[in-house]
Amino acid sequence: EAELIHMFKGIPFTIRSSPELLKSLDTFDAREDDVLLVSYPKSGTHWLAGVTAKLYNTQVTLTSPIEFGDISKLEELNKLSSKRIIPTHLDYNMLPPNFKKKKCKMIYISRNPKDTAVSMYHYYRDNPNLPTVDTWTAFFDLFVKGDVVCGSWFDHFLSWEEHANDKNILFLFYEDMKKDLPKIVKEISLFLGLNVSDNDIQDICKKSSFSEMKSDTEKENSDPSHTVCALTSNRRLIFRKGAVGDWKNHFTPKQNRRFEEIFNEKMKLSKMAKSLTYEF
C-alpha cells in the first residue's frame, strides 16, 4: 500500500507520476499559446476542462495532466502540433518555470475546502491508485494535516492566490459555476480571447451540466479512459454528487470547529478566504 505514494519535494504523489518526470518538469518547454487548467484535486477540474475545450472551434488538444506518466511524457507533449490545453494539480512553486516565463494563460479553479475534503474522501475510497482509508474521521485528520496526495489544500491555494492578480491568471470558484454557469463561461471565453456567441454559451452550459457529463461518461460518449486528473484514468470515478454543501452530511460539529480554527489560522493573510467561506 505504502508503495502507491512517493514523496517529491515534500509533497505526496502517486506512483502514476514518476520521480523522473517530476524532476524533468523544470526543463519543460512551454509554448506561448499553452493554456493551463490548474486545481487541487476534487475542485471541479473535469467540469472546467469540459467547458474550456468546448469553447474552441479550432483544433485544440486537452492533454493528460503534465505530472501524469513517466519521462516520455514531455516528448509526447512536444510532438503535439495543435494548441495544448494542459491540466495540472501542481502547486505554483512546482510549475515548470517556462510557463511562468512565457506568461501562458492559466485558469485556477478552487472550491470550498470542506466540500473538497468530502469529495476527496470518497475518491480515496473508490480509487485503487490511492491508499485505503477506513473512516471519514481518519481521512479528516489526514486532510487537515496535508497528509494527502498533492499535499496541503491550504498550501496549494495560497501558492496560487499569491498570483491571482497576474494578468495571465484567472481565478474561479466551483460555487460560482454552480450559481451562474453562463456568467463564468463567458468570463472564461473573454479571458481566452475567444469570441463565443450567447447561443453557443447556452449550448455549452447545457452540455456541461453534472447530469449530462455523468451520463456521457456512462454511455462512453466521451473516452472513459481519459481524465484530466493525474490520480485516475477512470472517468467513472469523477461524477459522484456534484453538489455544494455536502460537507454538512459528513462533518461533526467538533470537526467543523477544528476545521474553522485551522482555516482561520492558515488563511489569515489570504484576501480570498472570504470568497471560499460564504458557504461555511
Residues contributing to the site for ligand A3P (CB under 6 A): 39, 41-47, 115, 119, 122, 208-210, 213, 229, 238-242, 246
Q: Is 89 tagged catalytic?
A: yes
CA distance 280 to 260: 9
- Shortest approach of ligand A3P to residue 42 CB, angstroms? 4
Catalytic residue among 89, 122, 163, 226: 89
CA distance 27 to 23: 9
CA distance 166 to 99: 13
Task: Give the nearer residue to ligand A3P in terms of CB position, either 163 or 178.
Answer: 178
Run of H or E residues at 106: strand 105-110
- Shortest approach of ligand A3P to residue 91 CB, angstroms? 15
Per-residue cell: 182: 453562463
Sign of CA dihedral 47, 52, 58, 60: negative
Task: Give the nearer residue to ligand A3P in terms of CB position, either 103 or 248.
Answer: 248
- Shortest approach of ligand A3P to residue 204 CB, angstroms? 11
Task: Give the nearer residue to ligand A3P in terms of CB position, either 74 or 177.
Answer: 177
**Burial class of residue 34, CB neighbours in 10 A (0-12, 13-18, 19+):** buried
- Shortest approach of ligand A3P to residue 115 CB, angstroms? 6
Task: Give the nearer residue to ligand A3P in terms of CB position, either 74 or 88.
Answer: 88
CA distance 26 to 145: 27
Under a CB-based contact definition with an 8 Å cutoff, are residues 208 and 44 in contact? no
Question: Which residues are catalytic, by number?
Answer: 89
